[in-house]
Amino acid sequence: MLNMDYSLLTDYYEKLEAVSSKLKKTEILSELFKKTPTGELGDAVLLLSGRVFPSFSQLELGVAKQMMIKAISKASGFSQDEVEEKFKKTGDLGLAAEQCFGSRKQTTLLKKKLTISSVFENLKKLPFISGEGSQEKKLQLISELLVSSKAKEAKYIVRTVLGELRVGVAEGLIRDAIVSAFLLEKGMPKEKKNEITDVVDYSWNLLSDYGQIAVIAKEKGIEGLKKVKVQLGNPIQVMLAEKAESIKEVIEKYGKIAIETKYDGMRAQIHKKKNQIWVYTRRLEDVTKQFPDLVELCQKSLKADECIVEGEVLAIDKKTNTPMPFQMLSQRVQRKYDIDEMSKQIPIQMNLFDILYLDGKMLFDKPLIERRKILEKQVKIIPKKFQLAKNLVTDDLKKAEKFYKEALAERQEGAMIKVLNSQYVFGRHVDGWIKIKPVMETLDLVVVGATWGEGTRANWLTSYLLACRDAKSGKLLEVGMMSTGLSEEEYKMMTSALKPLVREEKGRTVKVSPKIVIEVKYQEIQKSPTYESGFALRFPALGKIRFDKGLEDVDTIERVKKLYESQGRAG
């Protein structure tokens, strides 16, 4: 079979949607992966994730619900009002499309059988349609797909385009299904299965694209995955730091350490391939377009033909030439228009702290102290613009504490302590990196709802429903409402970020997809029957909007409980 019918993929979507068991979902995915032709496997994996491009891509399909309503109307013969009425009743434009195409008012002789490839290739064109008449061209392209769709196919095309697939397939399930479909043998002991899963995780850490990984696993097996190397332009999963109470305990444990300034900025992973530069955030979002000044600095200052380096980008006050808080830089991260003007308004400074790849060689296994020396040789310093992170190697507690205090005096977050012989380990697995910050507890929470303001703030979302995370189930648990601590600019920024995420609207209240993480200050934690978590924050206020963090960084209910108990009021 050269091309798989899209209808077969939609059959599997329905199977996945009908079950909640992760084990059962993995079985369904594994069965589908085995059936899918190699040439379409990568596309199918992305589509099952509800995407057309890998998660790190900046490309967006750029289709709003109103345009989709027009496309459904055009292809089915139902009026826009009729489509909207079905949407209101179902709350799901995909279901509305399914109803329309199940009893469509018009048929066409141009109907073609849809395959995974034909759907995928058409959807891939959407981000590249721009300029005069672009909306009409997008409308035409989607309508052409829908015209050839059966009712069920229309439902899932609509959901895919809107980023609302709703079949419950997370990255972990795709990984397990790849292992099950292509790498496991009958009777294989558990230890061997764990080894195989570790290899798949390793390849994911390097490529960040399960579509590619599935194809390699099918064609070349476990040995092929072991040989996976960095691909410039595919971001690497980053190493994360553990927390420690004091510098003293770290020095007592490790002796001589490297202490670096922990900047109040955006962590950036930079890929260079000759003159081409990619810039990724800590969450592996492509922000290259938002930072043309950083791209230019990298082209001038990175000596290697090919490399991957990491550092912190700071916003700089152009009048005083001093660092500004991360909040200022957030405006640039989110900006899609007038980027050059924003670059002039909020200039940046780059402070590099690591190198992970150099001219064809991966450096993860080299000790930190050696990676630092390699980095120093590859950077042409431009003082106060493109430089190395401040760094001190010492086992002297007084010198380390002085360094830390100086970092705080410079209005930075604190210090990073790094073990000299530590390798670069993806994720938060080891204590090779330890962060030291002032003891002033905050919580990283995700916004799950919001309320429109009143009066002069009627056009802004001004109150935010916050949630923590249950580490075992992944469920989000509400823990309070926050409406203070924001400037006018921050209200605008939050509204701009949340509006595209609105899933449901009732009066002035909206429910939003959980994507925006914020650092929250509070006076105390109280027990509360109002929220599902069982707790409520008293006087929560905004610390920072953390566009650099994702759901995996949201604090757990366990941490909320510990903080509550540490107040001396357990029970």
Contacts of residue 56, defined as CB under 8 A and 6 or more positions apart, other chains included, come to 208, 209, 234, 235, 280, 284, 285, 286
pLDDT for res 185: 84
Report the pLDDT averaged over residues 552-564.
Answer: 92
pLDDT for res 36: 96
pLDDT for res 483: 86
Instruction: Render 311-328 in DSSP notation, one character per residue.
Output: EEEEEE-TTT--EE-HHH
CB 47 within 8 A of CB 67: no
Report the pLDDT averaged over residues 296-317.
Answer: 97
State the average pLDDT for the chain.
Answer: 91
Q: How many CB atoms lie within 10 A of CB 390?
A: 17
Calpha distance 9→113 (Å, rounded): 13
Q: How many CA atoms lie within 13 A of 40 on its CB side?
A: 24
Q: How confident is the model at residue 105 (pLDDT cuts 50, 70, 90)?
A: low
Report the pLDDT averaged over residues 296-318.
Answer: 96
Give me the residue spans of the domains in the chain.
51-162, 242-436, 443-566
- Of the listed ranges 100-114, 192-206, 394-408, the one predicted with least confidence: 100-114
What does DSSP assign to residue 484? B
Calpha distance 11→28 (Å, rounded): 11
Give, to the nearest 10 degrees, the angle between helix 171-178 and helix 210-226: 40
Please check the confidence at residue 566 and state whether its pLDDT lies above 80. no
Contacts of residue 301, defined as CB under 8 A and 6 or more positions apart, other chains included, come to 379, 380, 381, 382, 386
Please check the confidence at residue 523 and state whether its pLDDT lies above 90. no
Fold of 443-566: OB fold (Dihydrolipoamide Acetyltransferase, E2P) (2.40.50)
Report the pLDDT averaged over residues 326-349.
Answer: 85
Read off the pLDDT of residues 483-497 as tens digits, 9 standing for 90 and up: 877 888 888 889 999
Instruction: Render 185-214 in DSSP notation, one character per residue.
Output: -TT--HHHHHHHHHHHHHHHHHH--HHHHH
CB 37 within 8 A of CB 130: no
Strands (E), 263-390: 266-273, 276-280, 306-316, 323-324, 348-358, 361-362, 386-388
pLDDT for res 107: 59
Report the pLDDT averaged over residues 315-330.
Answer: 87
Please check the confidence at residue 334 and state whether its pLDDT lies above 80. no
- CATH of span 242-436: 3.30.470.30
Please check the confidence at residue 439 and state whether its pLDDT lies above 80. no
Please check the confidence at residue 570 and state whether its pLDDT lies above 60. no
Please check the confidence at residue 569 and state whether its pLDDT lies above 60. no
pLDDT for res 443: 95
Report the pLDDT averaged over residues 528-541.
Answer: 88
Q: How confident is the model at residue 530 (pLDDT cuts 50, 70, 90)?
A: confident
Give, to the nearest 10 degrees, the angle between helix 134-147 and helix 65-76: 50
Rg (CA), the chain: 25
Please check the confidence at residue 275 and state whether its pLDDT lies above 90. yes
More confident residue, 437 or 129: 129
Read off the pLDDT of residues 55-70 as tens digits, 9 standing for 90 and up: 898 888 989 899 999 9
pTM, to two decimals: 0.80
Contacts of residue 462, defined as CB under 8 A and 6 or more positions apart, other chains included, come to 450, 451, 452, 453, 483, 486, 491
Q: How confident is the model at residue 336 (pLDDT cuts 50, 70, 90)?
A: confident
Same fold, 242-436 and 443-566: no
pLDDT for res 110: 57
More confident residue, 91 or 523: 91
**AA identity, residue 567:** Q
Please check the confidence at residue 131 and state whether its pLDDT lies above 70. yes
CB 146 within 8 A of CB 111: no
pLDDT for res 111: 66
Calpha distance 510→496 (Å, rounded): 14
Q: Which of 550, 554, 552 lies closest to 284, judged by CA? A: 550
Please check the confidence at residue 253 and state whether its pLDDT lies above 50. yes
Report the pLDDT averaged over residues 385-390.
Answer: 97
Calpha distance 185→189 (Å, rounded): 9
- Dihedral of the CA atoms 129, 132, 138, 139 (nearest 10)? 180
The residues that bridge with 270 in the sheet, in sequence order, are: 279, 309
> Which residue is listed with tokens 């909206």?
510
pLDDT for res 288: 95
pLDDT for res 440: 59
Report the pLDDT averaged over residues 159-171.
Answer: 90
**Can you tell me whether residue 54 is helix, strand or coil?**
coil
Report the pLDDT averaged over residues 460-474.
Answer: 92
- CATH of span 51-162: 1.10.3260.10
Contacts of residue 413, defined as CB under 8 A and 6 or more positions apart, other chains included, come to 262, 263, 264, 407, 437
CB 232 within 8 A of CB 56: no
Please check the confidence at residue 568 and state whether its pLDDT lies above 60. no
Report the catalytic residues: 262
Report the pLDDT averaged over residues 163-182.
Answer: 92
In 49-103, which residue ranges form alpha helices assigned H by DSSP?
65-76, 80-90, 93-102
Residues of the chain above pLDDT 70, percent: 97
The residues that bridge with 316 in the sheet, in sequence order, are: 323
- As given in the structure block, the two tokens for residue 241 are 């730091």
Read off the pLDDT of residues 207-249 as tens digits, 9 standing for 90 and up: 999 999 999 999 999 999 999 999 999 999 999 988 887 899 9
Calpha distance 453→537 (Å, rounded): 21
